[in-house]
Structure 1
Amino acid sequence: MIGRRLLLAGAAMLAATETRAQYFPRGIKEHELHFAGSGGVALAGTLVLPAISEIERVPGVVLVAGSGPTDRDGNNPLIPVRVDLLKEIARSLGRAGIATLRYDKRGIGGSAIHQRDAADRQESYFTWDQFVSDVQAAHAELVRHDEIKSYATALLGHSEGGLLAIAATAAMGKKRPYALVLASTPGRPLGQIVREQIARSMPSLGPTAERIMAAIRDSGQVPRDVPSAFRAVFPAYAGAFLKAAFAFDPAATLARTDIPCLLLQGDADIQVVPPRDVQPLLDTLARRNAPGEALIAPMVSHNLKLVTGPDDPGFAGPIAPAIEIKLVGWLRHLLAAPSAL
Structure 2
Amino acid sequence: MARRALLAGAAALAATAARAQYYPRGIEERQVRFAGTGDVTLEGTLALPLLSEIQRVPGVVLVAGSGPTDRDGNNPLIPVRVDLLKEIAQALGHAGIASLRYDKRGIGGSAIQQRHSLDRQESYFTWGGLVGDVQEAHAELVRHDEIKPYATALLGHSEGGLLAIAASAAMGKRRPYGLVLASTPGRPLGDIVREQIARNMPALSAQAERIMAAIRATGRVPSDGPPAFRAIFPAYAGGFLQSAFAFDPATTLAPTDIPCLLLQGGADIQVVPLHDVQPLLDVLARRDAPGEALIAPMVSHNLKPVTGPDDPGFAGPLAPAIELKLVSWLGHLLGARSSP
TM-score of the aligned structures, taking structure 2 as reference length: 0.96
Hey, what's the Cα distance between the residues in 2 that align with 1:312 and 1:7?
Answer: 50
1:324-339 correspondence to structure 2 within 5 Å: 324-339=323-338
Hey, what's the Cα distance between the residues in 1 that align with 2:5 and 2:287?
Answer: 59
Amino acid aligned to 2:175: R
Partner of 2:245: 246
Partner of 2:74: 75
Task: Say whether 1:211 aligns with 2:220.
Answer: no
Cα deviation for residue 339 of structure 1 reads 3.4
* Corresponding residue SS for 1:232: coil
Number of equivalent positions: 340
Change (3 A) 1:111 1:5: same
Partner of 1:340: 339
Hey, what's the Cα distance between the residues in 1 that align with 2:30 and 2:14?
Answer: 32
Question: Structure 1: which 5+ runs fail to align?
Answer: none
Task: Say whether 1:137 aligns with 2:165.
Answer: no
* Corresponding residue SS for 1:238: helix
1:157-168 correspondence to structure 2 within 5 Å: 157-168=156-167
Task: Say whether 1:194 aligns with 2:170.
Answer: no
1:171-186 correspondence to structure 2 within 5 Å: 171-186=170-185
Hey, what's the Cα distance between the residues in 2 that align with 1:165 and 1:27?
Answer: 28
Amino acid aligned to 1:36: A
Partner of 2:147: 148
Partner of 1:230: 229
Hey, what's the Cα distance between the residues in 1 that align with 2:267 and 2:232?
Answer: 22
Hey, what's the Cα distance between the residues in 2 that align with 1:17 and 1:274?
Answer: 44
Change (3 A) 1:15 1:126: same
Hey, what's the Cα distance between the residues in 2 that align with 1:165 and 1:277?
Answer: 17
Contact 2:119 2:236 in 1 (8 A): no
Amino acid aligned to 2:137: A
Amino acid aligned to 2:60: V
Amino acid aligned to 1:148: I
Cα deviation for residue 121 of structure 1 reads 1.5
Amino acid aligned to 1:168: A
Task: Say whether 1:221 aligns with 2:210.
Answer: no
* Corresponding residue SS for 2:337: coil
Cα deviation for residue 134 of structure 1 reads 0.2
Cα deviation for residue 289 of structure 1 reads 1.4
Amino acid aligned to 1:121: R
Amino acid aligned to 1:27: G
Contact 2:94 2:338 in 1 (8 A): no
TM-score of the aligned structures, taking structure 1 as reference length: 0.96
Cα deviation for residue 20 of structure 1 reads 2.3
Question: What is the percent sequence identity of the aligned residues?
Answer: 80
Per-residue displacement from partner, 1:44-88 (whole Å, max 9, x unpaired)?
A: 100000000000100000000000000110111001110000000
Per-residue displacement from partner, 1:291-320 (whole Å, max 9, x unpaired)?
A: 000000101100001110011111011111
Contact 2:71 2:86 in 1 (8 A): yes
Per-residue displacement from partner, 1:149-202 (whole Å, max 9, x unpaired)?
A: 000000000000000000000000000000000000000000000000000000
1:287-306 correspondence to structure 2 within 5 Å: 287-306=286-305
Cα deviation for residue 24 of structure 1 reads 1.1
Partner of 2:39: 40
Partner of 1:280: 279
Cα deviation for residue 19 of structure 1 reads 3.2
Cα deviation for residue 11 of structure 1 reads 7.1
Change (3 A) 1:306 1:224: same
* Corresponding residue SS for 2:58: strand
